[in-house]
Structure 1
């Protein structure tokens, strides 16, 4: 697999990225440019554009000379459904084992060369690794969100544990949906359908200024700095490219490395304290789908001092499931210590703005005030 992977979430996606025929032409340019730069791995999923992303790759590949496509690697994903929150833990563990055995079978049958997982916690990754090892099959990768603004895979030890086992870590949203490209600012805000975070662009300006200084010094783009940071952390970035220019900028992240001093400057710069608080709590509590509950509670206990007392409240599951307004009057995350506590309607709530949380967690309420349960 290449040091850099092309992320294709935007290809075919109308809801977030506004896909149309014009963008189809530009995405083809991104595909061609990536191959010309030696980047031959493309990440997709059946849910991206409801299959259109996969179809785009097939079309673009078909228009390439056979010689240039023989080394193309396509990584796609699927979500094994149905997923029921109310399953007893013993049943969930059995189902996870079935998934592992099924993944092993796909390799044995030659349906795929390798298998990986996405948004798995450290514990879940190790369990899947052990399951596949029984079949003498290597778990190839774990795909998680990772960027300068989302560092929990590093701080939690997930990256280290993956590397110990030869598992590649793929980082999606390494550019934070455009926030770390240098294109957007308080005056030039993100498109509304991509502004899924409560972090304002003016709060990121100190970080972006540091990134610009490094980019100017190295004669690369701000995007290249963001992607190179991910590479320096031992993570393979999934750099989205909607056109040829973006693909070329992404390729600018290759062939060099940030110095330790530059990394420290980016990590310890004078970013607004509110941004650090938001990012840390979001990262450490909402980092992965199906996060183990013991880890949730430990993380919450570790970082609860970062939140003001007004961020800690109690909610009743009946209020949540019915969509009635609960206190506090904002979006929250729900942390439960065990399955039994869910049944007793005794849940801790941590008020914290979320980004892309709908991709990770189970939704309970039907209104704009959405509550998510970490199971």
Structure 2
């Protein structure tokens, strides 16, 4: 958390799809066609790229400490990946630091393997887009070292070009000179054609404007800004970042749209996950009743699940959420967030309930101002 491949299908918005449309299809002469479950044709622009309105995050793919990853899970992860791609998801977010200990880089390796072994249509496979993040490790002090980090990611994934190369976090608070070198590294990897576009992660409003201007002066457009953004994380800084992104034409990618699982409705003070997440949940969940109750009521009324409503809120705010997935069941549920939209009244209801909840998500310590 410190946290390319691009369906020659038209960018059609199927957000108006409803039960009446479903009935119409079932009685039509085309009912024998095998239709995707979640209407993958809806796409959005992100800089020069065309992506699904939701991506999937792969932080858990290799992380033993927080997510209990074991290599025996790989076959389930591959089925999860295949289901996502077959249903229109073409954006997958990863990082060169994802993976615990000897498994460092495992997330990138698995993504590359799954792409190579995907058995679906070539035109679908070719549209898969990887957004990876390069860690601002203290030994990455020069633009060349950052370019080498990009080349290492390409080797791990065995692909020719990365969709979005992202700086994982800013070093402005503790190593400002390193920050400039890393910015030049982003420019270099873009100029060399190693990435289709560049982005940043965990940048606060002031640093976001600075890097946007810096890159623009060098002819490199800033494609995306990735931050923690959800109904649990919609404080003043996050909303300011969102407004800046909108004004600059930068797409906000919202990670942890389910608050690490707190917005799923699956946990309570007496039912907490194991490990570090449990310690965090114990602090926050007791103060989430107004928000969780609101999510539950809207989900029941809409015949959706609480995670689907929480993810749809992020989509309605104009962001691209990247919920993490580890199982086919999770992917199916998250895909159900697509193809419909919350009403303006429902958005206000959720946001009011979020403000009424006394506990909020702890912000990433790497996010700058």
How far has the Cα of 1:180 moved from its partner?
0.8
1:291 maps to what in 2? 368
1:123 maps to what in 2? 206
How far has the Cα of 1:167 moved from its partner?
0.9
Matched, 1:2 2:39: no
Is the CA contact (8 Å cut-off) linking 1:203 and 1:272 kept in structure 2? no
How far has the Cα of 1:158 moved from its partner?
1.0
How far has the Cα of 1:90 moved from its partner?
11
- 1:169 aligns to what SS in structure 2? strand
Matched, 1:35 2:89: no
Matched, 1:161 2:244: yes
Deviations 1:223-278 (Å, cap 9, x if unpaired)? 11010111111211111111111111111111111112111211212876532xx5
- Please give the alpha-carbon distance, in whole angstroms, between the structure 1 residues aligned to 2:234 and 2:174: 32
Is the CA contact (8 Å cut-off) linking 1:7 and 1:43 kept in structure 2? yes
- Please give the alpha-carbon distance, in whole angstroms, between the structure 1 residues aligned to 2:223 and 2:230: 21
- Please give the alpha-carbon distance, in whole angstroms, between the structure 2 residues aligned to 1:89 and 1:10: 28
- 1:269 aligns to what SS in structure 2? helix
- Picking from 304, 307, 314, the partner of 1:230 is 314
Change (3 A) 1:53 1:140: same
2:348 maps to what in 1? 264
Is the CA contact (8 Å cut-off) linking 2:52 and 2:90 kept in structure 1? yes
- Please give the alpha-carbon distance, in whole angstroms, between the structure 2 residues aligned to 1:90 and 1:211: 37
- Please give the alpha-carbon distance, in whole angstroms, between the structure 2 residues aligned to 1:163 and 1:60: 34
- Picking from 256, 278, 287, the partner of 1:203 is 287
Is the CA contact (8 Å cut-off) linking 1:44 and 1:54 kept in structure 2? yes
Matched, 1:11 2:61: yes
- 2:318 aligns to what SS in structure 1? coil
- Please give the alpha-carbon distance, in whole angstroms, between the structure 1 residues aligned to 2:237 and 2:317: 8
- Picking from 192, 201, 207, the partner of 1:109 is 192
Query: Higher mean Cα deviation, 47-56 or 183-192?
Result: 183-192
Q: TM-score, normalised by structure 2?
A: 0.71
- Please give the alpha-carbon distance, in whole angstroms, between the structure 2 residues aligned to 1:255 and 1:132: 35
Is the CA contact (8 Å cut-off) linking 2:224 and 2:251 kept in structure 1? yes
- 2:290 aligns to what SS in structure 1? helix
Is the CA contact (8 Å cut-off) linking 2:230 and 2:254 kept in structure 1? yes
Matched, 1:52 2:106: yes
- Please give the alpha-carbon distance, in whole angstroms, between the structure 2 residues aligned to 1:53 and 1:155: 27
Change (3 A) 1:227 1:90: closer
Unaligned runs of 5+ in 2: 1-50, 141-170
2:116 maps to what in 1? 62
Greater relative contact order (CA < 8 Å, ≥ 6 in sequence): 2
Change (3 A) 1:54 1:273: closer
- 2:224 aligns to what SS in structure 1? strand
- 1:136 aligns to what SS in structure 2? coil
Q: Which has the larger radius of gyration?
A: 1
- 2:52 aligns to what SS in structure 1? coil
Is the CA contact (8 Å cut-off) linking 1:122 and 1:157 kept in structure 2? yes
Unaligned runs of 5+ in 1: 293-375
Matches within 5 A, 1:240-255: 240-255=324-339
- Please give the alpha-carbon distance, in whole angstroms, between the structure 1 residues aligned to 2:233 and 2:77: 26
1:78 maps to what in 2? 134
How far has the Cα of 1:129 moved from its partner?
0.8
Is the CA contact (8 Å cut-off) linking 2:53 and 2:320 kept in structure 1? yes
Structure 1 vs Structure 2 CA RMSD: 2.5
Change (3 A) 1:274 1:160: closer
1:354 maps to what in 2? none
- Picking from 220, 229, 232, the partner of 1:149 is 232
How far has the Cα of 1:93 moved from its partner?
4.2
Deviations 1:263-299 (Å, cap 9, x if unpaired)? 1211212876532xx55xx4xxx4562624xxxxxxx
Q: TM-score, normalised by structure 1?
A: 0.69
- Please give the alpha-carbon distance, in whole angstroms, between the structure 2 residues aligned to 1:265 and 1:272: 11
1:173 maps to what in 2? 256
- Aligned residues, how many? 282
Deviations 1:100-127 (Å, cap 9, x if unpaired)? 2221111111111111111011111111
